[in-house]
Amino acid sequence: MGDLMAKIYRWILKENPNLQLTQEIQREYGLHKIIADILSSKLNAQEVKNFLNPDLKDLYSPYLLRGIKEAKELIQQHIALKDLITIYGDYDVDGITATSVLYLTLKKLGAKVDYYIPERLVEGYGINEEAIDKIAQRGTKLIISVDCGITSVKEVEKAQFLGIDVIITDHHSIPKEIPQADVVINPHLPDIEYPFCDLAGVGVAFKLSQALIGEEAYELLDIVSIGTIADIVPLLGENRIIVKEGLKRLNETRNIGLKALIKASGLQNIEIDEYHVGFILAPRLNAAGRLRSAEAAVRLLISQDEKEVEEIAEYLNQENLKRQQIENQILQEAIKKIKETVDLNKEKVIVLWDKNWHPGVIGIVASRITERFHRPSILISLGEGEGKGSGRSIEGFNLYKALEYCKDYLIKYGGHEMAAGINIEKNNLEIFKTKINEYADTVLSDLDLIPSLRIDAKVKNEKIDIEIAKQLQRFKPFGSNNPRPNFLFEGLTVTKVFDLNGGKYKKIIAQKDKFGYELMLFDVSDQGNDVKIGDIIDVVGSIEINSWNGIESVMINVKDLRIKLPLFSYYKNLSKIMVEYQPEKKEIDKKVDYIIDQRGINNKLEYVLKLFKREGKTVVIVNTVVELKSLLRYLRKEKFLDFSLCNGDCEKENGILFFPNSLKPLKYYDDIIIYDIPFKKEIFYRILSHSQGKRIHLVFKEADIYYNLKSFDEIFPQRKDFIKLYKFIEEGNNILFKDHLHPQLNLNPIKFSFCIKAMKEIGLINVKERDNIFMLSKNSVSQKVNIEQTQIMQQIFSAKKEFIEFAKFIVSQKI
């Protein structure tokens, strides 16, 4: 396996527009076609409407959620009796915000209310029995859980035994047995009528708040949006409305705690969006609970005391800095361990442990390891007794199921497809690592370990302007299930390259047809570093607005970039025609009205120029690159510019058709010059039969054959090419892009795909392919192999032979 730090992505084009809906969207909302295409490829008409206009009035009635009415009545009874109500929350941002939302709601109703947040490091997640004892001692008569409790059968029983009523509100998956609480609210409950089940824990708390205080609950949406973003629930449907409206309110919040946090984070003069919440505010709220108690974070959100909230905001800042330091240190140690002890060729799941790793931070580090190596990872912190681990996964690997497979070696495990936690005995670590990798081998292929890049639309011949970039803003807020769209830009020519910030970033100016592009590379990869002026590149990136000194411009934020072989599509078509082309069965009409036979003419350049200068429409058909270049060079030298170079419709009176896909344009012209030798007999006669009633000039000669053969050399492999590719694979490289130049392998991609076919046929290598990637591995072959005997090489040889026979015929014989 090559350098794992090098970024290689599979490109997956997801575009599948519904043409009729696209038109409707364009008409109805005045959106550009490419924007409408993205919407129509994943949403129906009603969903598009809701997506583009998230509106509070489209929130569902809270009473649709089973248990809300009963919960409201029970809460009102306890308030009337002036009972103490305790909210039981969780230490993550979802739990903290849910606790705060319900607390502020109950306060508004004049309730006697407090809250309880378990400590991550001491108590762990969820309701525990000792906590119930403590709460009972406070004199609490009603416990309302938020963001937890759906599995707490015993604990709820205990609370009820102690004379406490219990309302469970949660959004986690429903286990086999649920607690016999007085009320259970969870949008995932079976047979539920509620139309949207992806609410975060704070979303469920908000529904209860809506039932209790009506539209006054909207004031709390700033807090609700933070928990919803942080919990990474799908940002569609009701969540989209909550976050869109919540962010608006967050920017003008009256919550003094949020104001203090925003100020302490340096965001006071910035339009806060989902990015700032997810990456700046939420980590601070989380930090307290990771290292110590999360109570401070709740106090920040509910406090009325200016001085207190300032202190807490500063404290959270400090805790967050500490968390970052610890995280970075563990990350460095983990990477070192991977380099020294993990065999990435054999172990698809990275399992690491250490006795000094902080258990509150290993989860974040696991996500960074998984992101970096694109494979599942589990980090385990070994304390005094058992080890506590936290894992993250990749698409295609259900972590929960994997842990189930290893359950004999675990004390405890829980979680879901993408993230999970474990408790493990120290002496089971090695066997657990073996077992989980055994499971991984059955479900993950090598190709699954290559990260993929989703592409939402291909930019064709359209101008990407500020208007389109602004229309894309309507897709915000971005997040889970609503990522920022990625676009594919093909065949851009690089005109300028700038290094910015000491080479950390790069800016590339590129061009295609009449349109210019400003590309920003914030995360410069190998290929990004190799880009030079004049290169042809394919780029995947998002379209964003760059504002600088009050001036707005469009920039492409590049996610991946590949350098392309110049004239790639020419060589690709040529290889198809030579090896795959089957001539049509129907008899070709060889009768031509008027051939002007100038074969062997000495100066065909002058001949073309003379015809171009004459009245009337003239087209030149050129088949080889060398001859095209020499013709263009000559015309430039003669300062003759009155022609167009085209492959389809030519605009001007004079045209050059380079290796045309279609011969339809020939009908516009009176004079047709066949400049060099067509690659196939059938093509030659097709040109003749498309030229009825016109004058055909033949100006090629025998020496031209050399240029055709030169084109063959570009794409047909020779012995040295096989050796080069084989060595490349032997050196441990195993991934090749199908259509792009490989940074370490200087070989035409069309040529190496022939090499791969032949080597595979003869059993030298194994080949897997998916999307735009070949994955190669060596085979041990005992006897000597003759690659020239392969079917594909025989096909190539006979195509070449057939061409030479045909060429020799048409340069000399009567036609």
> What's the count of helices (H) and strands (E) in the chain, helices before strands?
28, 27
- DSSP secondary structure, 671-721, as one string: EEEE-S--SSHHHHHHHHHTTTTSEEEE---GGGHHHHHHHHHHHS--HHH
Q: How far, in Å, are 32, 488, 548, 637, 658 from residue 469 at the CA level?
A: 10, 15, 15, 42, 36
Task: Specify the stretch interacting with Mn ion by CB under 5 A; choose among 92-100, 388-396, 481-489, 676-684.
Answer: 92-100
Alpha helices in 138-190 (DSSP H): 153-161
Task: Specify the stretch interacting with Mn ion by CB under 5 A; choose among 144-152, 408-416, 490-498, 700-708.
Answer: 144-152
CB of 62 to Mn ion, least distance (A): 19
**Contact string 229-258 vs Mn ion (x = CB under 5 A):** --x---------------------------
CA angle at residue 764 from 763 to 765, to 5 degrees?
A: 95
CB of 391 to Mn ion, least distance (A): 18
In the region spanning residues 265 to 284, those forming contacts with Mn ion, defined by CB under 5 A, are none
Rule CB under 5 A: choose which of 94, 448, 560, 671 binds Mn ion. 94
- The site for Mn ion, by CB under 5 A, has a size of 4
CB of 95 to Mn ion, least distance (A): 6
**Contact string 527-566 vs Mn ion (x = CB under 5 A):** ----------------------------------------
Q: Which residue has the tokens 């563990």?
A: 330
CB of 227 to Mn ion, least distance (A): 8
728's tokens: 């490349």
CB of 287 to Mn ion, least distance (A): 17
Nearest to 11 by CA among 466, 489, 416: 489
Task: Specify the stretch interacting with Mn ion by CB under 5 A; choose among 103-111, 141-149, 294-302, 766-774.
Answer: 141-149
Residue 231 or 560: the one with the smaller Cβ distance to Mn ion is: 231
CB of 234 to Mn ion, least distance (A): 13
**Contact string 194-223 vs Mn ion (x = CB under 5 A):** -------x----------------------
Residue 54 or 201: the one with the smaller Cβ distance to Mn ion is: 201
CB of 99 to Mn ion, least distance (A): 12
Residue 364 or 429: the one with the smaller Cβ distance to Mn ion is: 364
147 binds Mn ion (CB under 5 A): yes
Residue 147 or 310: the one with the smaller Cβ distance to Mn ion is: 147
Alpha helices in 466-591 (DSSP H): 466-472, 526-530, 568-579
Residue 103 or 357: the one with the smaller Cβ distance to Mn ion is: 103
Residue 89 or 477: the one with the smaller Cβ distance to Mn ion is: 89
Residue 198 or 704: the one with the smaller Cβ distance to Mn ion is: 198
CB of 201 to Mn ion, least distance (A): 4
Task: Specify the stretch interacting with Mn ion by CB under 5 A; choose among 146-154, 360-368, 402-410, 795-803.
Answer: 146-154
**Contact string 288-317 vs Mn ion (x = CB under 5 A):** ------------------------------
Residue 94 or 676: the one with the smaller Cβ distance to Mn ion is: 94
Q: Which residue has the tokens 């992806």?
A: 198
In contact, 127 and 88? CB cutoff 8 Å: yes
In contact, 438 and 445? CB cutoff 8 Å: no
In contact, 106 and 84? CB cutoff 8 Å: no
- Residue 339 to residue 342: CA distance in whole angstroms: 6
In contact, 676 and 622? CB cutoff 8 Å: yes
> Using CB atoms, what's the residue nearest to Mn ion?
94
CB of 91 to Mn ion, least distance (A): 11
CB of 150 to Mn ion, least distance (A): 11
- DSSP secondary structure, 17-28, as one string: --HHHHHHHHHH
- Residue 609 to residue 144: CA distance in whole angstroms: 88
Q: Is the dihedral of CA 194, 199, 201, 206 positive or negative?
A: negative
Phi-psi region of 419 (alpha: psi -120 to 50; beta: other; left: phi over 0): beta
Residue 182 or 231: the one with the smaller Cβ distance to Mn ion is: 231
Residue 147 or 295: the one with the smaller Cβ distance to Mn ion is: 147
Residue 174 or 645: the one with the smaller Cβ distance to Mn ion is: 174
Give residue 65's identity as a one-letter amino acid code: L
CB of 127 to Mn ion, least distance (A): 14
Cβ contacts of 648 within 8 Å, gap of 6 or more: 660, 661, 662, 665
DSSP 279: I
Binding site for Mn ion (CB under 5 A): 94, 147, 201, 231
